[in-house]
Copies of this chain bind each other. A is one copy, B any other.
């Protein structure tokens, strides 16, 4: 079967397409014929060599995928042939809190990912795809969707009536918008593009700030909230936005730091955090149980992931380039 492979730090164009001998699942494992995958900003960093700490070489790229069970190993009880499944982002983070060993099992980084015609997965490391959700949609949620869910509901305990600030219209922000609106919250979204703001408003955003017009956009956020600031910020924007995000939070507010768009140069001034009794929490995707709870929430609220554009398995490198150009609103998907 065909598989893509990263064996260098030289970026997108160094990703190879190779032939791999198929194997059968061992005890406790299943074989999944992949049907779809999707891209995240983190996948660009992995290809460029940025996540050295947890990454291995060579590695099959991409964390987010979906497929069908075609073979089950000895002792498997959770799945049968024909089941529609999606691998979880961190292979060994099933439930509860994470630890440093589990953090090393991110698909497409620490362990092999989904960009292959089939893969062998431990039976504990898969979730069922809900009825009515396509393979492409299921492949769109693991990294960005679970991150948004983890921030707002597992860590932030979002309540109806609270206000959430989202930065831009990338994958995490769009999932956070859909989930926060389904949960009865009020959403403020920032963007540099009036067109993207219009799209977000059509998806339910209550208020918006065009930060290219309002460079001091945190002041605008305070104006929009009667001077109180917001209850939650999902901070995905990195060095350019972090300080203003913190200033946008109200007393007792939560700033959810999302890893992948971060940069070593970003700094937080702690003074404001203390006087406003802020909680700043690092969020790095989540567990299988979070993944399942998010899928349940999507099902009950009929939330479909927003898919910007779809590429074929053979055009995976083109998908990478399109994604890197940052023209998308929502997810870039590869269908097999």
Determine if A310 is an interface residue (Cβ-Cβ < 8 Å): no
Contact A252 B179 (CB under 8 A): no
Q: A residues engaging B (CB < 8 A)? A: 26-28, 53, 75, 94-100, 103, 153, 157, 159-162, 179, 182-186, 206, 228, 242, 250-252, 257-259, 262-264, 266-284, 287, 289, 293-301
Expressed in whole angstroms, the Cα–Cα distance for A324 and B20 within the complex equals 62
Residues A266 and B269 in contact, CB atoms below 8 Å apart:
yes
Q: Is the CB of B252 within 8 A of A99?
A: yes
Beyond A160-B182, A184-B297, A273-B282, 20 extra complex contacts between A and B, CB < 8 Å: A27-B27, A27-B28, A94-B95, A95-B96, A95-B97, A160-B179, A160-B300, A161-B299, A161-B301, A182-B184, A186-B300, A257-B274, A258-B274, A264-B271, A267-B269, A267-B270, A274-B282, A278-B282, A279-B279, A280-B280
The docked-state distance in angstroms from the alpha carbon of A277 to that of B252 is 19
C-alpha gap A26/B73 in the complex (Å): 13
Contact present for A252 and B98 (CB under 8 Å): yes
Give the contacting residue for A268; candidates B27, B94, B99, B270; CB below 8 A.
B270
Could you tell me the distance in whole angstroms from the C-beta of A32 to the nearest C-beta in chain B? 19
Q: Are A280 and B289 CB-contacts (below 8 A) given A159-B153, A297-B159?
A: no
Which residues of the other chain, B, contact A274 by a CB distance below 8 angstroms? 257-259, 262, 282-284
9 contacts between A and B (CB under 8 A): A100-B250, A100-B251, A159-B293, A159-B297, A161-B298, A161-B299, A266-B269, A274-B282, A277-B281
Distance (whole angstroms) from the CB of A119 to the closest CB of chain B: 17
A82 to chain B, nearest CB (A): 19
Listed from nearest, the 10 A-B pairs whose CB atoms lie closest are: A95-B96, A161-B297, A161-B296, A259-B274, A274-B282, A160-B297, A273-B282, A182-B184, A268-B268, A267-B267
Docked CA distance A124–B127 (Å):
20
A138 to chain B, nearest CB (A): 16
Listed residue (A53, A251, A264, A289) with the most chain B CB atoms within 10 angstroms of its CB: A251
Interface centre among A250, A272, A284 (most CB of B within 10 A): A284
Instruction: Report the nearest B residue to A301, measured CB to CB.
Output: B184
Contacts of A281 in B (CB 8 A): 273, 277-280
Give complex CA distance A235, B295 in Å: 28
